Amino acid sequence: MTLYQLLAEGTAALKRSGILETDAERDARELLLAAFEMDLARFLLERTRQMPEDEISFRKTEKYRQLIARRSERRPQQQILGCQEFMGLPFYVDENVLIPRQDTETLVELVLAEQGRTAGKKKCLLDLCTGSGCIAISLAVKGQFPSVAATDISAAAIAVAERNAKTLVPAQKIRFYQGDLFAALPEGCFDVIVSNPPYIPTAVIAGLEPEVRDFEPHQALDGSADGLAFYRRIAAEAGGYLADGGSLYLEIGYDQGAAVAELLRVAGFANVRIHRDLAGHDRVVSAYGFAHS
Ligand code: GLN
């Protein structure tokens, strides 16, 4: 048996489970490297050699076949490997958190461009529905926020976010609070509030890819019948937690720009803008200048 044969065997199994051809080969190779604890260079060097028929090769082959079996159930690759890169940082992920999406880097880049790298007054940041902590932590690493707070309703998600904060920003204390949006906070006044809340309309979830539908937490996806429940609540409550001149940044679904912008205007925000992602879709709504009355 060679590594190359094992790769072909795993790729075929993943394709049979409905995974796209190009993804199947890449995923099988990553799982092979993980099971055999080797890097790509060594794999390329050794892939056509006969493996020794010893206990170690046997155990690693077994491990690889177990990983392929889990992926064949359509469990996300990131949950199997326990990792997803976001903003160039390796985030630990498991079934308790939404896997960070590249789309969300649009929000982080925008906040960094407008808030995080500016000299002058240092800003306090709040991230609602933090999940894996990817937004709060990457902003803490790359921006200049002396104080970062983050909330999530799921205690299991908070545990993941805390683990990520410990490894990725050991020098900075991010305060995590478990609870329902702002209700989680003891108090607070923030210069910048960000969130990527659940925004998928409930009925749409059943039609999503099995990786998302069957393995990611529905609590992190489901934005109620019209997908807008969290935006309504954030629009209504954010003013009470924003400093004068503070800013709000919300990730949105590609077709939610107009609706979310309107919710923010009605709630008293000025300067409401819709921003696009790299694919040209509406992805973030921002606002500043909340009129405290
Ligand atoms: N804020 C996290 C992320 O962007 C989790 C979002 C969520 O659970 N809806 O990945």
Query: Which of 120, 123, 187 minimizes the C-alpha distance to 151?
Result: 187
Contacts of 164 (CB under 8 A, 6+ apart): 91, 92, 132, 133, 134, 137
User: Strands, DSSP E only, in the chain?
Assistant: 84-86, 89-91, 124-128, 147-152, 174-178, 190-195, 242-251, 270-276, 282-288
Is residue 84 within 8 A of residue 100, CB to CB? The reply is: yes
**pLDDT at position 293, please?**
63
Whether residue 142 is predicted with pLDDT greater than 80 in this model: the reply is yes
Whether residue 235 is predicted with pLDDT greater than 90 in this model: the reply is yes
User: Strands, DSSP E only, in 112-254?
Assistant: 124-128, 147-152, 174-178, 190-195, 242-251
Instruction: Name the percent of the chain lying above pLDDT 90.
Output: 90
**pLDDT at position 144, please?**
85
Tell me the CA–centroid distance for residue 265 and ligand 1, in Å.
Answer: 24
Low-confidence winner among 118-122, 182-186, 265-269 (lowest mean pLDDT): 118-122
**Atom 5 in ligand 1: residue holding the nearest Cα:** 131
| AA letter at 272 | V
> Model pTM?
0.94
Indicate if ligand 1 lies below 6 Å from the C-beta of 220. Answer: yes
For 69-121, write each residue's pLDDT tens digit. Answer: 999 999 999 999 999 999 999 999 999 999 999 999 999 999 999 986 554 56
Q: Cα(164)–Cα(158) distance, rounded to whole angstroms?
A: 10
